[in-house]
A and B are shown apart, each in its own frame.
Chain A
Amino acid sequence: MFDEGRLNEIVKERKRWEKTTVPRWVRRHPERKGEFSTSSGRLIKRLYTPEDVKGLDYLRDLGFPGKFPFTRGLHATMYRGRLWTMRQFAGFGTAEQTNARFKYLLKEGETGLSIAFDYPTIMGCDSDHPMAKGEVGQCGVAVSSLRDMEILFDGIPLDRVTTSMTINGPAAMLLAMYVAIGDKQRVPRERLGGTTQNDMLKEFFAQKLCIFPPKPSLKLVTDIIEYCARHLPKWNPISISGYHIREAGSNAVQELAFTLADGIAYVESTLKRGLKVDDFAPRLSFFFASHNNFFEEAAKFRAARRLWAKIMKERFRARSPRSLWMRMHVQTSGCTLTAQQPVNNIVRVALQSLAAVLGGTQSLHTNSFDEALALPSEKAVRVALRTQQIIAHESGVADTVDPLAGSYYVEALTNEMEERVTEYIDKIDAMGGVIPAIEKGFFQREIADSAYKYQREIDQKERVLVGVNEYTVEEDWVPVELLRVHPKVEEEQLARLQRVKRERSNGRVRKVLDELHDAAKRDENLMPTIIEAVKAYATLGEICDVLRGVFGEYRELIVI
């Protein structure tokens, strides 16, 4: 962007500055550390100048928002036209309790729903399963049948909200329940909007919530993508996620690289099904963390858009412009929250949110300050929402598109992120793709190594964690009453489950479960049969057990 002659002068001056001005100053004021580095171990220079972006071509590498390569944003006007969706992940206890929390959040200004399910539900077990003891409603809402879902959405019109469901193994069943509610509310299926996370590949090496082995898991993922392409045009069948990879301990480059590798695998799987890329690619969505290093994170989001657009265009030859869009949801990083001096987390979340907004996210969840201790209390989640609202309405950052563009540092980071991610993708390609890499333990090792390195840095105080290894206090301050899920939730759930089983037609349930078994054996798309099953009030556990019988259960490959 600078002509060669002028650039040479800048380089000359930079070298002079490093030989004279810098040492003179550093002699009397040494720098705080020997070296400064990003989460991904890359050295951060003292200063970035035009030299660091000399290869950057504005039209080729940045362009304009809404046009390839989308570095500057997916849409022409970004937040000037429409703010990101404020979508707070929520769920605990019974469906009634979570329904109340949903209504509270909507009243306080969130603009999209997001459901957190409890562990038994996530693992495809009913609330009365032996392994559900003590777990019902603890980390999310318990949903064992359509009845729970009906209560969850009581008074919430599905043609006026969109809902994201963080569900993977049993995604098909929960989506089926949502469709059934929509049918009951007489909302045309083409109007149902939302997302199912439905990203099994990352489960195998990051979040670890697997029911079935890899091949059948991928089959179910693809069933959902195919079904949505044909019948639920406003539904995002998948949220290809880096968040959990990051939370498991990876750095920023690994988070992005492994997510894109998963995305590539899903596109390939769906193409193998016989769909054309432009038939489903526009509805693929993504989910990232926003971690502590402000500029690295903002650069990551920008690089992510550019990388995916190139992958879709060059590798998969997508033609529709929408197939090139990387639409993302971001959540501020849970693992960066501290149990010590929890009020400090408000500041962390604010900075992380700002990075996501400056990175151009479509949707954002902000963590509550008490989340290192418990599920969000009402007061804390309100502060989290206010954080987004203050950024949106008071800070001015949403009033122009991609304001960080042109920063020598940010553009250098964005370029570097793209290069290093591409190296990883090439490496994974060379292994034969994501599934062989999982079987080799590749991702698991990379993540475990990064996690251990991060911990050592904290233990050795190379990395300061305010309130934890530095600036500690004897007496802490927690200004809210922490949320506690009452054990009687489990009793209530069990009672409800028993009533559902009594009141339904068990003959119909048996019949539809047999149909499901046959359909699974014939390798058909299981969505239609699963919808029938949930409408008959077959329970989540009963449906998953049929599939466990056909697909088997997953055994983890342990890598420390």
Chain B
Amino acid sequence: MSSERKIRVAVAKPGLNSHDRGAKIVARALRDAGMEVIYTGLRQTPEQIVETALQEDVDVIALSILSGAHMTLFPRIMELLKQKGLADVLVFAGGIIPTEDVPALKKIGIAEVFGPGTPTDTLVEFVKENVRKRE
């Protein structure tokens, strides 16, 4: 019986926004669901987030932002991920992101944007269903 590698998730807070209640709850919920979770802490630059993703060999990045700076920070993050060969990492976002921005974000590779009120089980299911398969 082989042991299944746990799904590794980085929960990240890009930019100056310091609201971390949601991000921490997501981190805990994913951990309780059996995933390995790395929480980056606050005030991460895109470079820092991608470096963490690389160092920690994550399968998933969950971006939490409530400051309105997502249209500046997310494209940079996605670009850096591509540069570092991490284009197959599942990236999703949450926080306060206007619905009108979601199509543009999906276009750059953000798999889904989960608004306030999303049940934590929904996130767990989403990750399990959409994470890349590893040998």
Contact = CB atoms under 8 A, between A and B. Distances in A.
Nearest to B16: A119
Interface string A439-450: 000000000100
B43 A131 contact: yes
Interface in B15-68: 15-18, 20-21, 24-25, 27-29, 31, 37, 39, 41-43, 45, 67-68
Given A131-B43, A469-B119, A249 B21 contact: yes
Interface string A131-157: 111110011000000000000000000
A482 B99 CA distance: 11
A468 interface: yes
Query: Which label, helix, strand, loop or mixed, suits the secondary structure of the B interface?
Result: loop
B67 A139 contact: yes
Contact of A373 (B18, B27, B98): B98
A482 to B, nearest CB: 7
B119 A459 contact: yes
B9 to A, nearest CB: 12
A372 interface: yes
B47 to A, nearest CB: 11
Given A135-B69, A374-B98, A339 B117 contact: yes
Given A119-B15, A248-B21, A469-B119, 18 more contacts: A119-B16, A123-B43, A131-B15, A131-B43, A132-B16, A134-B70, A134-B73, A138-B68, A138-B69, A339-B117, A372-B96, A451-B21, A459-B119, A484-B98, A558-B39, A560-B28, A560-B37, A560-B39
Contact of A208 (B18, B25, B67, B115): B18
A133 B39 contact: no
A340 B118 CA distance: 11
21 contacts: A119-B15, A119-B69, A122-B16, A131-B15, A133-B72, A134-B72, A135-B69, A139-B67, A247-B21, A340-B117, A372-B116, A373-B98, A448-B24, A455-B29, A455-B120, A459-B120, A468-B117, A469-B117, A560-B24, A560-B28, A560-B31
A209 B116 CA distance: 22
Interface residues of A, number: 40
A135 B16 contact: yes
Interface of B: 15-18, 20-21, 24-25, 27-29, 31, 37, 39, 41-43, 45, 67-73, 96, 98, 115-117, 119-121
B104 to A, nearest CB: 14
Given A135-B16, A560-B28, A485 B39 contact: no
Nearest to B70: A134
Nearest to A454: B25
A123 B120 CA distance: 31
B116 A134 contact: no
A-B pairs with lowest CB-CB distance, top 8: A134-B72, A134-B69, A119-B16, A138-B68, A208-B18, A468-B117, A339-B116, A135-B69
Contact of B25 (A120, A451, A558): A451
Nearest to B26: A455
Contacts of B96: 372-374
Contacts of B69: 119, 133-135, 138
Contacts of A558: 39, 41
A94 interface: no
Interface of A: 119-120, 122-123, 125, 131-135, 138-139, 207-209, 247-249, 335, 338-340, 372-374, 448, 451-452, 455, 458-459, 465, 468-469, 482, 484-485, 556, 558, 560
Most buried by A among B27, B31, B72, B98: B72
A451 B24 CA distance: 9
Contacts of B70: 134
A226 B44 CA distance: 35
A139 to B, nearest CB: 5
Given A339-B117, A372-B96, A459-B121, A131 B28 contact: no
A512 B5 CA distance: 58
A138 B41 contact: no
B66 to A, nearest CB: 8
Nearest to B40: A558
A477 to B, nearest CB: 14
A134 B43 CA distance: 13
B106 to A, nearest CB: 19
Contacts of A451: 21, 24-25
A528 to B, nearest CB: 30
A248 B66 CA distance: 14
Nearest to B32: A452
B21 A335 contact: yes
A139 B24 CA distance: 21
